[in-house]
Amino acid sequence: MSESRRPQTRKADGTISTTRKPAAVCDQHPVVSRTGPRRSESVRLAVLNAADDLLVERGFAALTIEGIAQRAGVAKQTIYRWWKSKVDILLDTLTDDAREALEWRTGDGGAEAEIRAHLKRVTDFFQEPAGQVMLSLLGHAQLDQATADALRSGFLSEQRRRDIAGLRALFGRTRDDHGIDDRTADHLVDLLLGPLYYRLLVLGKPIDEDLVNSTARFVVTLVRE
């Protein structure tokens, strides 16, 4: 079983279908919060699932610790013992879900095909509850510096390192491409993901197949020049 909170199955086209794991899971492995003492895994999962469910249903502004506690079936004091705020809960749920959903997967296709496949996974992720969590946190970060700092120093930095490593591994193993260094990969991550975020966050429009295909083609062309 994956470390992700929700079992995932791969569709025929390579995308990921996410189904929810029940909140009541085996309580065998206590874990340590970034913000509090040891806690049971079953309660942690119940709280994280409740938080992103309620975010999708009610939106960020209406999301409260009280509501999360009621949905998860735990005491409000229990949540505050482990998390300082709803933002901390959402950061945990985002980190958990994105770890698998946004990973770079090795294959035997060409560079452009694999980049298209990864961008499609990113697009699908934005349609999931975890993607809505990410977009909500990015929006709130524009108004709250503490949220911006936590998001950038935590999840966004970690995901960027994974994206850089994924691009370097991809171009390092494809036969018809030269490897790229970290600095080049860092710039390519901006070129690769920037159009998707611009389309969603600035224009408020869905990411279509043409954008995915043209972005993948552009990045591969730059590397091969």
Ordered per-residue pLDDT tens for the chain, 225 residues:
234 455 443 333 443 333 334 333 333 334 344 444 556 888 999 999 999 999 999 999 999 999 999 999 999 999 999 999 999 999 999 999 999 899 998 777 789 999 999 999 999 999 998 999 999 999 999 999 999 999 999 999 999 999 999 999 888 876 555 678 889 999 999 999 999 999 999 999 999 999 999 999 999 999 887
Which of 84, 114, 139 is the C-terminal boundary of a domain? 84
Give me the CATH number covering residue 26: 1.10.10.60
Distance CA 40, CA 32 (A): 9
User: Is 50 in the same domain as 143?
Assistant: no
Give CA–CA dist 172/185, Å, rounded: 11
Q: Are residues 177 and 206 in the same domain?
A: yes
- Residue 134: CATH number of its domain: 1.10.357.10
Domain membership of residue 202 as a residue range: 96-224
| 100/210 same-domain check | yes
208 and 127 inside one domain = yes
**Residue 187: alpha-carbon gap to chain centroid:** 20
Give the contacts of 6 (CB within 8 A, at least 6 positions apart). Answer: 18, 19, 20, 21, 97
Segments in 73-208 forming alpha helices (H): 76-82, 86-101, 111-127, 129-141, 145-151, 157-173, 182-197
* Cβ(116)–Cβ(217) below 8 Å: no
Q: Are residues 100 and 174 in the same domain?
A: yes
The total domain count for the chain is 2
Question: 110 and 215, same structural domain?
Answer: yes
